[in-house]
Chains A and B, each alone.
Chain A
Amino acid sequence: MSEVIKKENVEYPYLEKPLSVYTLKNGHSVIFAYKKSPMINISSWTKTGSINENKENNGVSHFVEHLLFKGTTKYSAGVFDKTMERLGGIINAATWKDYTFYYINIPKEHYKIALEMHADMMVDALFPSEEIGPEFDPNGASPKEKRERYVVIEEIRMGEDNNWRKVYKNLNNSMYENHPYKREVIGTKEIIANISQKEIERYYKTFYTPQNITTIVVGEFDEDEMLDLVQKNFIFKDNSNIEKCKTDVFEMEKSIKNPTTTIDYAEVNTGYLMMGALCDSAKNLKETIALDLISTILGDGKSSRLYSELIENSKNPHYYQLESCHYQFKDGDNFLIEANFDADKKDVVIEELKTQLDNLNKINETELEKAKKRAKVNFAQESEMVSDIADAIGYWMSVCEDITLANKYLDTLNEIDCKYLEEIAKKYLSKEKLSISLLLPKGEN
């Protein structure tokens, strides 16, 4: 049982009480948040995802996420799912570039068994070969034993039928030169079909360490009792002597070295476009907030510039969907514009969107105030449900690696003026700095 070496109370916007942030002697971070609710949310966030992968094991983070549900010494495969769901729980997990997280939302009276089984899954995953399934040639005959390996391949196949995913895959690949973010989080059929059980275990033992994990509990509960449960159940194995997974040697890429335009074709009736720029790390709070605000002004809602100027007020509209978004990452944010349009108007669309980027050199006070209010309301919105609160805390701990930034967000937001936004737009969003990915109907030029 690892003792507490540090406890801090950290203020958090819109919550009734400050967060209790514990650091245990083994490095495990534990955060409790109070929220009156019939549900309790228990989650653990591991600071690993495609950022820690290389071209040989791309997709292993996500595969491990699937396999954590496949049994421990104490509970065989399926027992965790069945037990939690038969108590009214909703369970799942997700993998992204910087993190992988596992969660349980369950009526609060079942917190003990939920915490015990969640901890067991995090620290004692066994990766049974019969659950992983045999290695096989994905381009050859279909294997007889189709287990979790094949489930992931079906998930890859499902993504290949998603038009936006195709566009994003090509854009993401073109934006980076060497960084592991370049690769898709889900990996490839070839790697998943062939990755060994040994490599999977090695990855788990390398990255699922107490120093790399934050456990978050949100709801109404006795904190002392919950802390005791966490300490008693999260008994991490000593994997310090294992041969660790090799990761790529890379540097953060804050801008696209060679912006390109990629065109792909499919059986579609409309055109799909994504334009993307690379920016500084999400840890750069002021710049990240500025990009949030620019995204709201440019492409969030019907009063945004993109919607009002190119759809609502256009004499010759050709967009069916048009918005901007800002994804935050540890090694540099992405700023994206997404458009679905009449494919015949591809060239006009690209020019119009570039003009909109040019126009970010002038941002007015009304736009700024609207965007600031939206940013504040988003915080209020994220405080409504136990799962949303946990997800937000998980983001601050895993991507920004600093929970205190959450409470600095609103003060920093107030410091930002139009001039600063214009500078950030110029720094990251000048039209020549963005890559473009297009998906067009087959036969289109």
Chain B
Amino acid sequence: MKHYNNNGINILLEKMPKTPRMSVSFFFKVNKKEKYYGINSLLARLLLQGTKKYSANELALAFENECIDITTKAKQDYIKLSLVFLNEDFNQAMELVKDLILNSTFDDFEKEIFKIKGEIISDLDNPKMKLTDTFVKSIFKEHPYSSTHTKILEDLDKIKKEDIIEAHQELFKTFKSIVVVGDYENDEKMIEFFTTNFDFMKSFETNDEIKDIQNNKTEDEIIKITKNDAQQAQIIQGWLVDSFNSELSAKYALLNNILGSSGLSSRLFVNLRDKQGLAYTVRSQYETLLHGAIFNMYIGTAPINIKKSLEGFKLELEKLAQTPPSEEEMQGAKENIQGRLKYFTQNNSQIAAVDGYNFMMGLGLDYNEKFMEEIRQTSAQDVSEMAKKLLNLPKLIAIIAPQEFLDKI
């Protein structure tokens, strides 16, 4: 992947010969707290709901008649428009996306509010979604990252069309990038095309008003959610930890891999699932964001096994804290991380997503190599230290289960 900055426009290009579908993404940095939770999500949706030239229906038809797949997403740190299309449809795809970035009318504001409300209520029918929602909003508290379904639901009726228009204007004042991966003719023509036609994608360096998350937690907290007809109890146990901009990141990544994210051979999988039959799904996760990260463990288990599962989480961390993993296990974890990186960067849209994200977060286009070097330099003792650190940090536990089982915890 190469980075060009022409007239202030960041263009990232990777030529992939003999691939029939091209991927183009437009990233916009988010560096202000939303006035109300949900504004950015609503903006991302409304970008597909009509422009001065096309109604929402006409826009959908224009994209779908040519199989130009477009998705718009509002994430914690950025808003992204991603397109995937056959190479020959490049010009049409770019014309359409330019129109919706510049000329969206947001006329479907009321209708979209109705739709998003319904979808959230429906999503929250899913116990895992309800659990995750509760966990995320509780761990991030008042930080902008706590913008979950239920928080959005609380704020939706306060949002006005003017708020969306204001958020839309912010897109043009922020740091941006265009990422192109596919079988195009050459970099020069691509740069000329975007410089001429997408001058509004010029980047601006602005102060990031969103602060890094401070972990002020002083004691463990358990949140219980009642769902009396649930067949399984679901548990998330997690901590606020350092993110990718910290030297601890590679160490957490390796702890995560060994503990519960390498697949069928992770310690949680082998010891809680294979040996004790406690779960079908059990895993750990290290989710990194610009201003903080979460390390967590998850299990779906029979409600009677809640206590046993929590003890299992603790025991696996204690084992790692007391005895560093063997060199063989460390080497395997490092290879596993490398293999997963290769697996998840196979097609053009995956490459655009990963490299575009690294660039937007200020990590650089060689971040994957640098990260792998840090992984290689990490010792078994480092991993053990991270396990100790987690054991000493106050944790948040969220559990959804029938009331009678929650009462026993």
Residues of chain A having any CB pair with chain B under 8 Å: 14, 16, 36-39, 69, 77-78, 81-82, 85-92, 105-107, 133, 142, 145-152, 154-155, 157-158, 160-163, 266-270, 301-304, 307-308, 311-313, 317, 319-321, 340, 342, 366, 369-370, 373-374, 376-377, 380-381, 383-386
Assess whether B232 is in contact with A161, with CB atoms less than 8 Å apart.
Answer: yes
Q: A85-B262, A373-B65 are in contact. List 17 more A-B contacts (CB 8 A).
A: A39-B342, A39-B346, A69-B264, A86-B335, A88-B339, A90-B339, A90-B343, A147-B275, A154-B302, A157-B300, A158-B231, A158-B281, A161-B232, A302-B64, A308-B57, A320-B122, A340-B122
Residues of B within 8 A of A340 (CB): 122
Cβ-defined partner of B335 (8 Å) among A37, A88, A90, A133: A88
Contact A92-B122, Cβ < 8 Å, known A151-B279, A380-B21? no
Cβ-defined partner of B274 (8 Å) among A38, A78, A145: A78
Chain B 88-115 interface mask (CB, 8 Å, partner A; 1/0): 0000000000000000000000010011
Residues of chain B having any CB pair with chain A under 8 Å: 18-21, 48, 56-57, 60-61, 63-67, 86, 111, 114-115, 118-119, 121-122, 124-128, 227-232, 262-265, 270, 273-281, 300-302, 304, 328-329, 331-333, 335-340, 342-343, 346-348
Assess whether A157 is in contact with B231, with CB atoms less than 8 Å apart.
Answer: yes
Contact A320-B118, Cβ < 8 Å, known A86-B335, A158-B300? yes
Residues of B within 8 A of A161 (CB): 127-128, 230-232
Q: How far is the CA of A304 from the CA of B346 in the complex (A)?
A: 30
Residues of B within 8 A of A267 (CB): 227-229
Assess whether A320 is in contact with B232, with CB atoms less than 8 Å apart.
Answer: no
Residues of B within 8 A of A381 (CB): 21
The 22 listed contacts between A and B (C-beta, < 8 Å) are A36-B18, A39-B346, A82-B332, A85-B336, A88-B335, A146-B278, A147-B277, A148-B277, A151-B277, A154-B277, A154-B278, A154-B300, A155-B280, A163-B125, A302-B56, A312-B60, A317-B111, A320-B119, A370-B61, A370-B65, A380-B20, A385-B347
Cβ-defined partner of B66 (8 Å) among A149, A373, A386: A373
B331 to chain A minimum Cβ distance, whole angstroms, is 7
Assess whether A154 is in contact with B339, with CB atoms less than 8 Å apart.
Answer: no
Assess whether A78 is in contact with B270, with CB atoms less than 8 Å apart.
Answer: yes
Q: How far is the CA of A378 from the CA of B113 in the complex (A)?
A: 32
Q: How far is the CA of A383 from the CA of B346 in the complex (A)?
A: 11
Residues of B within 8 A of A320 (CB): 115, 118-119, 121-122
Q: How far is the CA of A357 from the CA of B65 in the complex (A)?
A: 22
Assess whether B263 is in contact with A85, with CB atoms less than 8 Å apart.
Answer: yes
Assess whether A303 is in contact with B332, with CB atoms less than 8 Å apart.
Answer: no
Assess whether A151 is in contact with B125, with CB atoms less than 8 Å apart.
Answer: no
A350 to chain B minimum Cβ distance, whole angstroms, is 18
Interface centre among B21, B265, B279, B336 (most CB of A within 10 A): B265
Contact A303-B274, Cβ < 8 Å, known A81-B265, A381-B21? no
Assess whether B118 is in contact with A342, with CB atoms less than 8 Å apart.
Answer: yes
* Interface residue SS majority, chain A: mixed
Assess whether B343 is in contact with A366, with CB atoms less than 8 Å apart.
Answer: no
Closest Cβ neighbor of B273 among chain A residues: A151
Closest Cβ neighbor of B339 among chain A residues: A88
Contact A86-B336, Cβ < 8 Å, known A91-B264, A92-B264? yes
A-B residue pairs, 9 tightest by C-beta: A88-B339, A86-B332, A146-B277, A150-B277, A302-B60, A155-B280, A320-B118, A303-B60, A384-B347
Q: How far is the CA of A162 from the CA of B18 in the complex (A)?
A: 41
Residues of A within 8 A of B66 (CB): 373
Assess whether A85 is in contact with B264, with CB atoms less than 8 Å apart.
Answer: yes
Assess whether A78 is in contact with B265, with CB atoms less than 8 Å apart.
Answer: yes
Cβ-defined partner of B280 (8 Å) among A89, A107, A151: A151
Assess whether B263 is in contact with A81, with CB atoms less than 8 Å apart.
Answer: yes
Residues of A within 8 A of B48 (CB): 302
